[in-house]
Amino acid sequence: MTGPAKSQLPQIRGVLKLYKASSIITGTFLILLMVTWGIRRLPFLGYDLWLLGPNGFITFEQYGIDGLGLPEVGFNLTVIILIVHGWLYVLYLFADFRLWTLMRWPFTRFLFIAAGGVVPLLSFYTEHRYAKLAKAEIEKVERGE
């Protein structure tokens, strides 16, 4: 395993900032997604989080079979959170790929970091661990080791 190239250190620092921000935001949306999905799927609950619906600013609305029974006005926050997390995960994967490429890490590390966007709470662990590791490798290259 070779380390990062000294000429790419400024680029790596920028990618590291993107990676850290995207992992925290994606992880937060994944937690929101799991909570709203749980509220929707548990048999005794079966509700969607609704914004600006007929019953108030933010409410839980009964989720019937095939979505029947949901309000016709307002926004389904459960679905919006799902979509936003999906797009944030794309950004997270991009940041993961750029960091992995520039740091010249093994492919298994890329896969483990990528799992952080779909396994609840894992993105917080990977962000902490691999950002720290990347900083240590950057310092090592700067010292000429």
**Domain ranges, ordered by start, for the chain:** 6-138
* CA–CA gap between residue 101 and residue 106 (Å, rounded): 9
Q: What is the pLDDT of residue 1?
A: 52
Tokens 């509220």: give the residue.
39
Scan for tokens 């989720």, then name that residue: 63
Please report, in tens digits, the pLDDT of each residue of the chain (145 residues total).
Answer: 578 999 999 999 999 999 999 999 999 999 999 999 888 887 767 888 999 998 999 998 887 666 567 788 899 999 999 999 999 999 999 999 999 999 999 999 999 999 999 999 999 999 999 999 999 999 999 988 7
The shares of helix, strand and coil residues in the chain, as percent rounded to the nearest 5, are 65, 10, 20
* 58 Cβ contact list (under 8 Å, min separation 6): 49, 50, 51, 77
